[in-house]
Structure 1
Amino acid sequence: MILSKRPDIERFLAKPDPKVRAILIYGRDMGVVRDRANALAAKSVERPDDPFDVALLTDGDLDSDGGRLEGELAAQSLMGGRRLVRLKLSVEKASLDRQAAEALTAHAEGRLNPDAVFIVEAGNLGRDSALRKAAEKAENAAAIPCYEDEPGDVARLVRETLASDGVALDAPALQLFVSRLPRERGVARQEIERLALYLGPGSGRTASAADLEDFLGVEPEASLSDAAADAFGGRLAEAQAALRRARAEGEAGPAAVRAIGAYLGRLRRTLTLMRNGAGAQEAAKASGVFWKQEREFLRQVRAWSLEELDRLQPDVLAADRACKTAGAPDHLIAERLALTIAGRARRLGL
């Protein structure tokens, strides 16, 4: 069985199907894999950290003892409760993949201890993985792929983690903090915990975006964001200065073109929402515009149109392709694109 849709996964994690004995959780973001495995372990046994109820295995255990995994799955709980076997695979190795797949199949079919729960944590398994195929095919098993968190998932994680420490962020601060967090959940969680310490656990404080300025420091990609905003605002000299500053900070031409494309996307989304009846400020917030940039962004929204953005899109795509050509002067390509956009912005009255 495959559980790929988020609502199905959340329902399963909240209330696992008792018929499912084996669960494979895999994906590129090991932080999400670990969080889901921990949540499932907590639902599977009363004491997920008790060595009498739980067996924790790794790649090394399978390598050193080929029969260890099935032996643990066949064993009974020493305390008489339900048993949990967790396997963490951190390396890609065909022999380990096959060994885990065989054990999962046998356990799902009830040939070992049918009262035990088997949870496997793995990286980004391909379609040819025997373990993945076994989990997807077996009747009493589940395969849960883990994809990169969406901004909404990250925002929920921030709110819930901070709430557990008795602190919070207001809406603009939450938007700012989420936009600056890495998408790998393990690293993101560390940053959230660091923020909780900064705000003071148990203080009941609700921080604003201004309160976070000292904590966040200077955003590494701020120069690229500034360059895109200046280009669409018709300020060529400022856009060029920001691009050159970004280059000095180590940001290459392709990143600049992506930043310009992302800014165009925000303008397009805002204008589309407005065409469908939304107010300008409401549409800008829904498009992810930070409150400090809102006034300038809305000034640009009044000048640009969806038709003008459509005419500009081929230039952005061409610049993106050109930057990916071997030996291309990508910083000059990005500056030329900014020049093109700023020129059109000036003709629109910006």
Structure 2
Amino acid sequence: MKIDARSVARILREPGALRAILLHGDDTGLIRERARQAATAIAPQLDDPFRVVILDRDAPERLEEEVFALSLTGGRRVIWIREGGDSLANPLKTSLSQSSETLVVIEAPGLAARSRLRSLIEAHAQCAAIGCYPEEGRALEASIRQMLVEEDIRINPDALAWFASQLGPDRAATRGEVEKLVLYAGRGGQLSLDDVRACIGDAAGVSLEDAAFAATVGDRAGADLAIERALAEGTSPIAIARALLSHLHRLRRARIAMDGGQSRADAMRALRPPVFFKRTDAFGQALSLWTTDRLMEAAMQTQALERDCKQTGAPDLTLCRRHIARLASTARLPRRGR
């Protein structure tokens, strides 16, 4: 059966009588994290060889044997399969036709919607199929806040919004950055925007921010340098597109406020999170170069960039570099209209 987003945490915390949990989608870090949660719900000690078996490949020939093996120390067993695929469908179907208390946890990043394995899991009442896709916006902020709450750490809203805007689409990378904040703040601590910036100042997100600001003030050389640095640090083209889109939306909100009569300074102060004081000059310069209509057009082109980067076989790196160049060129064009 398919599991909706509201029920995921409960299912992973208490698998109950489930026989198999399939974790599929694009976020490999989230898939791995949820697989670990499901496995530890049954066997808290994952290094227990009598209760936990980890298979690095499909290993269909071992599945039935492991499902019906008995734990010498008692308790339910877990079979944790990484890189699962359709070759598991037949042996899993056979296993499900017989009684067993073993839970099979399958990581299957990139599994097609019409795959035989996914169809089997979604149709079976004792199985759960959970989609794992990159979080963004409020969902991402909620996840970050929850990770920090678990460590008794509070974070200011402005700091949370800025931090979320700097992160890429992978859950493992997000958790790594959150762990930096945990070490920085200490249990019971509180994080301000300045704290967060100081803590992750060397993260790839700063390179993305450099690229966005440079492109929107027409600094082609600076934008190219920043984007190459971000790519060298492992930032995905999709993360680049999202960072650019976030920056363009902030510029557009401020530009609309200015068109409505606000001063540039007031329009910038009203943004949440506020413009970092070291970036105010560049942000203000961009506002003087861009019109509301051009910002809207650039945002639509950036959305198209993200869509194109998701296409199989797309030259995503080339598309990102070309888009950065286009933004920088547009910023240098004479202003006309709104």
TM-score normalised to the size of structure 1?
0.68
Q: 1:106 corresponds to which residue? A: 94
Distance (Å, rounded) in 2 between the aligned partners of 1:297 and 1:214: 20
The partner residue of 1:265 within 240, 244, 249 is 249
Q: CA offsets per residue over residues 76-116 of structure 1, 9 Å max, x none?
A: 333343x2222322376xxxx32x2123212333x142x22
- Give the letter for the 2:226 counterpart: E
**Counterpart contact for 2:23–2:35, Cα < 8 Å:** yes
The partner residue of 2:56 within 30, 48, 59 is 59
Q: 1:334 corresponds to which residue? A: 327
Q: Look at both structures and tell me which one has the larger radius of gyration over its CA atoms.
A: 1
CA-CA distance at 1:157 after TM superposition: 3.5
Instruction: Specify the SS of the correspondent of 2:59.
Output: helix
1:283–1:135 Cα change, 3 Å: farther
Q: 2:192 corresponds to which residue? A: 208
The partner residue of 2:223 within 246, 255, 260 is 246
- Give the letter for the 1:2 counterpart: K
Q: 2:20 corresponds to which residue? A: 22
**Counterpart contact for 2:58–2:83, Cα < 8 Å:** no
Unaligned runs of 5+ in 2: 230-236, 258-265, 309-314
Q: CA RMSD in A?
A: 4.5
Distance (Å, rounded) in 2 between the aligned partners of 1:247 and 1:131: 43
CA-CA distance at 1:312 after TM superposition: 7.2
The partner residue of 1:224 within 185, 204, 211 is 211
**Counterpart contact for 2:2–2:122, Cα < 8 Å:** yes
Instruction: Specify the SS of the correspondent of 2:158.
Output: helix
Q: 2:2 corresponds to which residue? A: 2
**Counterpart contact for 2:43–2:52, Cα < 8 Å:** no
TM-score normalised to the size of structure 2?
0.71
**Counterpart contact for 1:104–1:135, Cα < 8 Å:** no
CA-CA distance at 1:70 after TM superposition: 0.8
- Give the letter for the 1:185 counterpart: R
1:215–1:103 Cα change, 3 Å: same
CA-CA distance at 1:173 after TM superposition: 1.9
- Give the letter for the 1:57 counterpart: I
Distance (Å, rounded) in 2 between the aligned partners of 1:318 and 1:181: 20
**Counterpart contact for 1:228–1:260, Cα < 8 Å:** no
Q: 2:108 corresponds to which residue? A: 122
Instruction: Specify the SS of the correspondent of 1:133.
Output: helix
- Give the letter for the 2:145 counterpart: R
Distance (Å, rounded) in 2 between the aligned partners of 1:150 and 1:41: 26
Distance (Å, rounded) in 2 between the aligned partners of 1:226 and 1:60: 44
- Give the letter for the 1:222 counterpart: E
Report how many residues are paired: 310
Q: 1:146 corresponds to which residue? A: 132
Distance (Å, rounded) in 2 between the aligned partners of 1:315 and 1:47: 48
Unaligned runs of 5+ in 1: 231-238, 274-278
Q: CA offsets per residue over residues 196-244 of structure 1, 9 Å max, x none?
A: 2233x33x331222223432226112333223554xxxxxxxx33xx32
